[in-house]
Amino acid sequence: MPSISLKTPSASYDITIAPGLIKTLPVRLKKLRGSKPFRTFIVTSPEIWGLWGQQVQAAFAKSEQPTVLFLPAGERHKRLRTLESLLEQMAAAGADRDALLVAFGGGVVGDVTGFLAAVYMRGVPYVQVPTTLLAQVDSSVGGKTGVNLAVGKNLVGSFHHPLAVLADTDVLTTLPAAELRAGLQESVKAGIIRDAKLFAYLEKNADAVLRGDAKSLTHVVSASVRVKADVVANDERESGLRMILNYGHTLGHAIEAATSYKQLLHGEAVGWGSIAATRLGLMRGMISEAEADRMIKLILRYGPLSSFKATAEKLVTLTTNDKKNRSGQLSFVLPVKIGEVAIVRDVRRDEMKAAAEWTLALMREQNGTSSKKAATKKKTR
């Protein structure tokens, strides 16, 4: 049972990755709280609860059944109004400072629940039980919590670490194929920024990983989490090194904003953003053409990435709302080689636009190829 320890100046906890963790959830929660009395509040989406709610409830004794709070699925619900509704529900249910929140869902559920835990009665404990691959490999680890504003992602939030992360790999068996692929983009990112061995593993074992082979997925999740845990341990508050985790996210977030968070999954947007960042690094002569080609090929191998409508000009304009901006200057994470990136703060608008235009052209080319393949397959049936 892989268990990875994360230690920062303000928190220390384990990320456990294994099948069957849901069945042992009550026991694990009691162990985390020790002799302290607590009431369990689970925040989840109706869809996730419909798939796994019975198993979760069956794990708890009748006298210890958790209070379930529902958060509608989708990035568009990651807003302050949703947070306020959950706060009101907790207060109405009589939650006090002994409440223990459990984030049981994907990245949106995890981010919102973490922020809910950070602000309810000035802070209550919570546990992450991520149910998507993206949440297991990335968003559940590191203590970043928050919600979006209309102008940009994660502009309101706080650092509030969970007591533990319990990544049950069994829940990935009900994950739609598109969400599995989208989550794997974060693992590809982990390989690009800090783990050349993970990158090579993803290249060599793509077929097994994409078909959901349990052993392969456990390896990928564990390796991805180790990358993030190592980075967070060295830079808890994103003052420097932790910024490398935003590889692909600058234009990725702009793509999400340009499409009103409705057309792409987060991992798909990060995939396109990673391609743009790779292209920008190549344009600047920071990386060889051979390595840039490997990166882009692997990103597309874990696709297809959904297409979207936006102009390069609009995407570049939207990057000005990115939370990584410092004193009006945009920080960009660009590749040096597979397993190493650099934080660059002098990227010009015309460079970003050129990289965005190239990425949009590649998207149109890929979309055309996919359409032709689909048409050919239909004819042969």
User: How far apart, in Å, are the Cα atoms of 215 and each of 31, 106, 242?
Assistant: 28, 21, 29
Using an 8 Å Cβ cutoff, are 128 and 145 in contact?
no
Beta-strand pair 12-18/3-7: antiparallel
Residue with tokens 């991992």: 267
Could you give the count of Cα atoms lying within 13 Å of 88 in the half-sphere of its Cβ?
A: 6
Let me know if 314 is a catalytic residue.
Answer: no
Task: Fill in the amino acid letter for 236.
Answer: E
Let me know if 242 is a catalytic residue.
Answer: yes
Let me know if 144 is a catalytic residue.
Answer: yes
Using an 8 Å Cβ cutoff, are 182 and 266 in contact?
yes
| Set 228, 236, 268, 324: catalytic member | 228
| Set 181, 249, 279, 324: catalytic member | 249
Helix 25-33, helix 46-59: angle, nearest 10 = 80
| Set 75, 236, 238, 268: catalytic member | 238
| Set 77, 148, 154, 246: catalytic member | 246
Q: Which helix (H) or strand (E) holds 48?
A: helix 46-59
φ/ψ of 140, rounded to 5, equals -75, -15
| Set 62, 81, 122, 309: catalytic member | 122
DSSP letter assigned to residue 36: -
| Set 253, 268, 279, 291: catalytic member | 253
Task: Fill in the amino acid letter for 342.
Answer: A
| Set 77, 153, 242, 279: catalytic member | 242
| Set 144, 181, 226, 324: catalytic member | 144
Both structure tokens of 145? 């919590």
| Set 28, 78, 266, 324: catalytic member | 266
Let me know if 122 is a catalytic residue.
Answer: yes
Using an 8 Å Cβ cutoff, are 232 and 242 in contact?
yes
DSSP letter assigned to residue 278: H
Let me know if 321 is a catalytic residue.
Answer: no
Let me know if 97 is a catalytic residue.
Answer: no
Catalytic positions, please?
Answer: 122, 144, 186, 228, 238, 242, 246, 249, 253, 266
